Amino acid sequence: MPDNYLALTPESLPERLCKIKEIAGEVGADPNSWDVAEVGDGNLNLVFIVTGDLGKVIVKQALPYVRLVGDSWPLTLERAFFEYNALIRQEERDPGVVPKVLYFDSAQGLIAMEYLENHKILRNKLIDGEKVDGLSEVLGLHCARIAFKGSDLYMETKTKKSDVSLFEKNIELMAITENLVFTDPYFTAEMNSNTEGLEKIINILRNDIKMKTCVQNMLRKFASNTETMCHGDLHSGSIMCTNNQTRVIDPEFAFYGPMGFDLGMLLANFLMAYFSQEGHRKNSEQSDYQSWICTIMKETVEHFQAEFSTLWNSARNGILFPKTLFEDQGHSSLSALESFLNSIWSDAVGFCGIEMHRRCLSLAHNADFELIEDTKLRAKLEARNLLMGRDLILETQNIDTVEKLITMAQDYNSKDVL
């Protein structure tokens, strides 16, 4: 950690940051008029809303440890460097979706960025039963643009390789995913916890050698397939919305990995929102809202595939599947595109099942389930989620469309598996 690193507090922030013109230019020059609130509710960082005469900014600062656990788990400040680098690439690859970066200070692990007025974390909207117009379009297009434009289908290979080697150094954050997502759920790891009553289901998962093998094959892809720059942690807590605007935040877990990773994580978090609805609202409202979530999943995948196909046809300028070998020879690349999309989809299905497991079994559970106080009901809903996750991992090849994934969720939602 740099010698001069000092964690900010609401009291110290105005004096420490008022000389930074990129921040003062947004908030106003007089630090005495700044109002600062620490609002971080994530697992890792400090997040401040700074309000002044002119406007607001967000200041995010990495702590030298995992906030959720405390200083017994040290964590490098470099995650702010990777978040900063991911944000500027995401802005280039899909303008207007991620917050604008105003200022970055590597030694302080600090990023000042655009304040998103009236936006609320998507997870909280899903828990509160609020709909968002245009959600699936923004997310589907964003995932497609980020997947395509960070890959050898689009980038100059020299730039791509140097970017891969830059993000390969995001080692500690990748290690969190390697452990908490791919490994801990499948044995009695120290930081695990689970809702009482799930023991029977957990035994099924932990004794399923075939499924554990599939999970390790997905980890193999996570660890060694560097085909594009992924957000790395695209759950509903990394998305902020108004009733008709959607923004993606928080890419500190960014890494070069499989194209289906972000899409799979995202679908898993929609599925967990779907399964948890019985814990949050009455029967009549529940089915309408669950149908809306299903539509969002279906449209997100459709937008993803349509946008990826558009980019394939209009912007395929990298070393992969070059036009020289296809269109220039009078040969269609349609079946190559189809098989590419199929392989992204099957990876997404596998990653989706694994994320559904980790959020109920290892560290960092989802509020969607955690806020359900009735533990019997919570266990009933989590059991559906866990067993569907297992089917997704084992049956990846058979679940070849989003419609099949949704039908499977609807089936699980109507039966008691505990």
Which residues make up the interface to ligand SR1 (CB under 6 A)? 43-44, 66, 68, 176-177, 180, 233, 363-364
Nearest Cα neighbor of 272 from 395, 359, 377 is 359
Q: How far is the CB of 157 from Mg ion (least distance, A)?
A: 31
Answer yes or no: are the C-beta atoms of 114 and 108 closer than 8 Å.
Answer: no
- Decide if residue 14 touches Mg ion (CB under 5 A): no
Closer to Mg ion by Cβ: residue 42 or 52: 42
- Decide if residue 42 touches Mg ion (CB under 5 A): yes
Closer to ligand SR1 by Cβ: residue 56 or 221: 221
Distance separating alpha carbons of residues 358 and 133, to the nearest angstrom? 29
Closer to ligand SR1 by Cβ: residue 43 or 310: 43
Q: How far is the CB of 78 from ligand SR1 (least distance, A)?
A: 15
Q: What is the CA radius of gyration of the chain?
A: 22
Distance separating alpha carbons of residues 381 and 313, to the nearest angstrom? 43
Closer to ligand SR1 by Cβ: residue 43 or 183: 43
User: Which amino acid is residue 237, in one-letter code?
Assistant: G
- Decide if residue 250 touches Mg ion (CB under 5 A): yes
Q: Which does 180 bind (CB under 5 to 8 A by kind): ligand SR1, Mg ion, none?
A: ligand SR1
Q: How far is the CB of 238 from ligand SR1 (least distance, A)?
A: 7
Nearest Cα neighbor of 14 from 33, 42, 39 is 33
Q: How far is the CB of 80 from ligand SR1 (least distance, A)?
A: 15
What does DSSP assign to residue 102? E
Closer to Mg ion by Cβ: residue 263 or 394: 263
Nearest Cα neighbor of 270 from 352, 215, 341, 348 is 352
- Size of residue set near Mg ion by CB under 5 A: 2
Distance separating alpha carbons of residues 358 and 180, to the nearest angstrom? 7
Q: Which does 315 bind (CB under 5 to 8 A by kind): ligand SR1, Mg ion, none?
A: none
Q: How far is the CB of 218 from ligand SR1 (least distance, A)?
A: 15
Q: How far is the CB of 176 from ligand SR1 (least distance, A)?
A: 5
Closer to Mg ion by Cβ: residue 14 or 42: 42
Calculate the CA dihedral of residues 59, 43, 251, 221 and round it to 10 degrees.
170
Distance separating alpha carbons of residues 181 and 357, to the nearest angstrom? 8
Write out the two tokens for 374.
């009735």
Per CB under 5 A, residues contacting Mg ion are 42, 250
